[in-house]
Amino acid sequence: MSLPVTCVQVIEVARVTPRTARITFQSDELDASVGTSPDQQVKLCFPRPGQEAPVLPGRTDDAMGWYQAYLAIPEAERPWMRSFTLRRRRPDTRQFEIDFVLHGDTGPASAWAEQARPGDRLGMVGPSALYASPVSIGSAAAAADWVLMVGDESALPAIGTLLEALPDGTATMVFAEVADRAEEQPLPGPAGTTVRWLHRDGAAPGRRLVEAVATADLPAGTPFAWLAGEASAVRRLRRHLVEERGVPKASIEFSGYWRHRLTQDDAPTAEDLADARELLARATAD
């Protein structure tokens, strides 16, 4: 399976909120598929200290072979790799936008984004069918009575693209958890979209989301539910919808984007592996 690998360069940095940077990248080799569908994920590769650009294997049609070559790079030189959702491709250009949640220097992506300037370079892997969602938001919405989207600030780029792709007239309810009121941002969607903002204000990640959904007066009928954000909160939300709301598992698309007190470099937990097995089983069935 083809795995696009390219070098991308920063051309603009803007603040969407005090803790969210929207960084615009450009690449002369940008694949035509970049930014053409909602919830499209890529992996960004960040240089190690002292590197002007990340050291990466070249483009290949062998995805597994490329990843093995990436792992063969000495650890001190191997770029940090993190997953992101494309927020928007600028029409008729080779430019695209990605939102970064800023939380100080506790992670390589946030630390890089805090200091990002035009001319800075990263590596980009994807987009690829390897990380594509098997669910079409249009067909999922058409098969459901209404749409439920739940996520924290890490999920807002995907939620934004999904809302923009929903058919007109789709009844939609969004629960979005952010640090505080200053982190709210516009989320355009079809007429009838309801957005409920939840402010963490020091609470544990995901706690406000779980409490709000569990106590909400949700519309009648079966929804298509899309859940993303901190992994343990996503599991609790999914369990609530299935066990207490009677939502079929097949009607829930879910993804644990990040883990509280753990990074993508830490080993997966037993729950992480169970989630991965279920998602793989679904993708194989589809």
Secondary structure, 3-state, 212-267: HHHHCCCCCCCEEEEEEEEHHHHHHHHHHHHHCCCCCHHHEEEEEEEECCECCCCC
- Tell me what pLDDT residue 179 has: 96
> 133-143: per-residue pLDDT in tens?
666 888 888 89
Q: Give the residue extent of every domain in the chain.
A: 5-131, 137-285
For 147-170, the DSSP string reads: EEEEEEGGGHHHHHHHHHHSPTT-
Mode of pairing for the β-strands spanning 252-258 and 41-46: unpaired
pLDDT, average across residues 149-175: 96
Q: For residue 234, give both structure tokens.
A: 């996503």
Run of H or E including 11: strand 5-17
pLDDT, average across residues 253-266: 81
Tell whether the model's pLDDT for residue 250 goes beyond 90: yes
The answer to whether 40 touches 87, Cβ cutoff 8 Å, is no
Is 137-285 in the same CATH topology as 5-131? no
- Tell me what pLDDT residue 213 has: 98
pLDDT band at 106 (very low <50, low <70, confident <90, very high): confident
Class of domain 137-285: alpha beta
CATH of 5-131, one of 1.10.10.10, 2.40.30.10, 1.10.150.120, 3.40.50.300: 2.40.30.10
φ/ψ region of 124 (left if φ > 0, alpha if ψ in -120 to 50, else beta) reads beta
C-alpha–C-alpha distance, residues 206 and 241, integer Å: 15
pLDDT, the chain, mean:
90
Beta-bridged to residue 95, according to DSSP, are 26
- Tell me what pLDDT residue 283 has: 61
